Every structure is written in structure tokens, then in C-alpha cells.
Amino acid sequence: MVMDKKQIAIIGAGVSGLTACKHCLSKGFNPIVFEAESQVGGVWTKTIRTTRLQLPREMYQFSDFPWPPSVTDTFPTQQQVLDYARSYATHFNLIPHINFNSRVKGMSYDGPSSDTWSLWNGTGEAFPPEGKWNVTVENTQTGTTKVYTVDFVILCLGRFRDVPNMPKFPEGKGPEVFQGQAIHSMEYSAMDNNKAAELVKGKKVVVVGFGKTGLDIARECASVNGPEHPCTIVYRRDHWKMGSWFPLGIPLMNLISGRFHNTQIEADIVIFATGFNGPKKLKDIFESPAFGHFIEGPPLVGLYRESIPPRIPQVAIVGFSEGLSSLYVAESTSRWLVALLEGKFKLPSTKEMEKDVARCATFRKQICGECYHSPVLCGVEIWYNDQICKDMGMNPMRKKGLFPNLFEPYGPRDYAEI
């Protein structure tokens, strides 16, 4: 089979890398996975103490590997999600394909130029007659590097870790002149739970950012310090939040100060929960700035079917466009991508793909309004899944009967048979 001969590299073994690997294997490919850390699970390997799944587990599950009956919480804990990802890797025998402690330092392309393309890879197919990627991998334990030559690279680097998004300050007005401690949420999350609690105990803490991480850190501060030392959240834009608004019985709103304005807030510690710059991580993996240049953003990364950068050869991305459940989207993308790798369909012209990307951005803007810039598919997973089913020649109506198709909610399990 041709699949045996084509070498695919997958970078990252978070849930996106795992599902990409599983689907490659299921179609006869023999991928090699590089994971910088010593274990699978990505963001779930270490989080703030109280992190749980923020949506019901039925929506965050592999379609062909349901949660075990032992997990009964609607919103499983970080450890439960991590265990679930690990069991998926074990169940589908993915571990032997993963090179742990293997950080990809960069990748360079050896093949024809994409400048004159009218079709991706010149053919609209995944494997053109010429062209290879050289992937430089560092063993983080020994410090040695090795170059792997492959036919196709699937980037599953993750969007929400590694590269912090730090606000820019005018010279002389940033953390360098602050007497206290200024850290990014990434450092706080990486701490041992007791150390994180010690760090904020009895301190005046200011959290910048009104994302889920900012709220979680404020909640941690509330449980360590109680109402005596309220923590302050500084934010620039309101977001509608759902969930527990009464940590330790203290209304969370009591802890919230307000938007940016010209006021001085005393602080011993400032924690920047200002998110991550995922697109930069993607850009930086390409040794040639010309390829990095094709990765737009932040905020959006222009990917056809949330996966293909139309002007970069033999590369796909999984896990950059999140939905309400990122796992749900990553799995759909992986299935679609592997069908493309198998040659089940060809891609339209690069111009068509770029138009489609622009159309999706407009659609997203209409649906999501002000937040359209976020990578979230904003509840349009069904629309996305319909498109990929059609590309793959499958019926997008996955349920039996008109009524269930029209009125029952769709979820990962509806796609188990694809």
C-alpha cells in the first residue's frame, strides 16, 4: 500500500496529536510522533488545581472511545481528562509510535517552490511527485539532535501553552519597574499546587485578563485568602461567563474591580492571564520565514477546513480552530485529513481555498460578533462537520430519522462510524 511508503510526522501528542495518530494508523499509515514532553496529554498534564472540563464530558470525548463508566462527573477533573487521554493512547496502541522528550526545533522544505501554484502541492493532493520536509528534533534528555526526512507533517502543537501573550508596555512602565512580582499565568499553572497557594497567600494579587484562566486564578486566590485580601481582576472587555459564581460562598463579582482605566491599584503580585500566542508558535516552527509568513494572525490562522494552509506544501494543522469542544473538532479534522492523505478526494484550487477561508471568517463574524477573532468555531461544529462529511462522500445526516436529525443535538458519538 502507498500509505506504508509515505512517511508522516506528527508533532505533538496532546489530544489533537493522539487523534491524528490514531486515524493515520487506522488507514495503514505508519506515522512518527514527536512529543517534547515525557508523556501524552498536552495541556491536561498540568493545570491550576481546580481545573475541570468546562463543558459536559459527552461533548469532549473521542467518538470511538467513550468515557469509562467510572467517570460519572459531568465536568471531569484535570486528572480524569488526562487519564482518559492516556487510556485512548494505550487502547489504540499509539504509544509505540511516539518519540517522547523529542522537541522539534524547526523544519525546512526541500522541494519545488509554491509561488506559481494554482493547486495545493501543484496537484491538489497530499503527496506531490517531489518534495520532502526535514524535521530537526532535539532529544531534551541528551541534548542531541537528529534530522528526519518525511513526506508530510501534521502540526498538533497546541494553541494554549508555551508562548505567552504578554501585553506591551511603554518603556519604563512595564514589569521592569514594578517592585513586586509579575508572572504569566503559564508560570502559575506550572507550579506545584502548594507552592501556587503560598505564592498568593496574604498578598495583594492583581490578575490581568477575563478569560477562563484569569477567573480560575482569582478563584484560587479567593479560596486561599478569603474576603480579607480580595484579589482584583483587571480586564478590558466583558465576556459572558457561566459556572460557579460563589467560590467559598463569596460572590465572584465582589472580587472584580473593573475595566482598564486610569487608576492605580496596589499589588504585590501581578498575574498576566492574557492568553497565548499560538500562531507565533506555528510560525516559528518553519525555518523559512517565507512559510511562516503564510501563517496569518494572530488572531486568526487562515486554514482551509480548519487544517490546510493553502500556500504551504505537505503540511496540515490539527487543533488550532477550536469549537465548543476542541476535541470534537480535532477529531473531525483528523478524519478528514486522513481521507485526504489516502487520496479519497482532492482539494480545490488555492484561490478557491482562500476564498472559502475568507467566507468562513465572514460567517464566523456574523455568528460570533465581537469575538469573531477568537479561534472558536462558535457553535458551528455541525456546519463544519457537514462540510467535511460531504468532502469525504459521506451523508452529513448521521442520525436515523428526520426528527432526530433536525431536533436532537449532535455530538462526537454521531460520527463514530465515519
Ligand X SMILES: Cc1cc2nc3c(=O)[nH]c(=O)nc-3n(C[C@H](O)[C@H](O)[C@H](O)COP(=O)(O)OP(=O)(O)OC[C@H]3O[C@@H](n4cnc5c(N)ncnc54)[C@H](O)[C@@H]3O)c2cc1C
And the C-alpha cell for 36?
A: 517534547
CA distance 393 to 390: 5
Query: CA torsion, points 199, 204, 206, 212, in degrees to nearest 10?
Result: 60
At 254, is the secondary structure helix, strand, or coil? helix
* Binding characters for ligand X, 85-124, by CB under 6 A (x = yes): ------------------xx--------------------
In whole angstroms, how close is the CB of 173 to ligand X at the nearest point?
A: 29
36 interacts with ligand X by CB under 6 A: yes
Amino acid at 138: E
How far is residue 168 from each of residues 175, 227, 268, measured CA to CA in Å? Answer: 10, 31, 20
Using the rule CB under 6 A, which residue among 156, 218, 295, 338 binds ligand X? 156
Member of 54, 118, 288, 362 binding ligand X (CB under 6 A)? 54
Which one, 214 or 313, has the nearer CB to ligand NAP? Answer: 214
Return the residue of 8, 23, 47, 232 that touches ligand X, per CB under 6 A.
Answer: 47
Residue labelled with grid coordinates 481546580? 50
Among 9, 10, 24, 34, binds ligand X (CB under 6 A): 34
CB atoms within 10 A of CB 71: 16
Q: Which is nearer to ligand NAP, 208 or 389 (CB)?
A: 208
Per-residue mark of binding to ligand X, 329-348 (x: CB under 6 A) = -x------------------
Q: Which does 211 bind (CB under 5 to 8 A by kind): ligand NAP, ligand X, none?
A: ligand NAP
The C-alpha cell 496529536 sits at: 17
Among 107, 126, 154, 157, binds ligand X (CB under 6 A): 157
* One residue of 51, 114, 185, 314 binding ligand X per CB under 6 A: 51
Distances (CA, A) of 413 to 133, 195, 197, 328, 336: 35, 40, 39, 9, 16
In which residue are the cell numbers 506515522 written?
31
Cβ-based neighbours of 205, under 8 Å, separated by 6 or more: 217, 221, 225, 229, 231, 232, 267, 268, 269, 270, 271
Per CB under 6 A, the list member of 7, 37, 83, 290 interacting with ligand X is 37
Residue 117 contact, options ligand X, ligand NAP, none, Cβ 5-8 Å cut-off depending on partner type:
none
Residue choice 30, 54, 72, 149 for contact with ligand NAP (CB under 6 A): 54
Minimum CB distance to ligand X smaller for 43 or for 267: 43
Interface positions, 204-263, toward ligand NAP (CB under 6 A): 208-214, 216, 235-237
Q: Which of 326, 300, 303, 323 is nearest to 315 (CA)?
A: 303
CB under 8 Å to 61, separation ≥6 — which residues?
A: 67, 84, 327, 412, 413
Q: Report yes or no: 155 and 316 within 8 Å, Cβ to Cβ.
A: yes
The binder of 17, among ligand X, ligand NAP, none, by C-beta within 5 to 8 A per type, is: ligand X
Question: Among residues 169, 165, 137, 257, which one has the least CA distance to residue 205?
Answer: 257
Cβ pair 343, 357 in contact under 8 A: no
Q: Which stretch binds ligand X (CB under 6 A): 65-73, 158-166, 288-296, 394-402?
A: 158-166
Q: Does residue 44 sit in helix, strand or coil?
A: helix
C-alpha distances in Å from residue 104, one per residue of 35, 135, 344: 8, 7, 30
User: Which of 11, 256, 269, 273 touches ligand X (CB under 6 A)?
Assistant: 11
156 contact choice in ligand X, ligand NAP, none (CB below 5 to 8 Å, kind-dependent): ligand X
d(CA 230, CA 171): 30
- CB 328, min distance to ligand X, A: 8
Q: What is the smallest separation between the CB atom of 210 and ligand NAP, expressed in angstroms?
A: 4
Q: How far is the CB of 414 from ligand X (least distance, A)?
A: 17
Which partner from the list ligand X, ligand NAP, none does 237 bind, CB cut-off 5 to 8 Å by kind?
ligand NAP
Q: How is residue 179 written as a grid cell?
A: 517592585
- Terminal-residue alpha carbon distance, the chain: 21
Binding track over 159-198 against ligand NAP, x by CB under 6 A? -x----x-x-----------------x-------------
The size of the interface with ligand X (CB under 6 A), counted in residues, is: 32
Answer for which of 29, 133, 152, 160 binds ligand X (CB under 6 A) is: 160
Binding site for ligand NAP (CB under 6 A): 51-54, 160, 165, 167, 185, 208-214, 216, 235-237, 273-275
Binding site for ligand X (CB under 6 A): 11-17, 34-37, 42-44, 47, 51, 53-55, 60, 103-104, 156-158, 160-161, 319, 325-327, 330
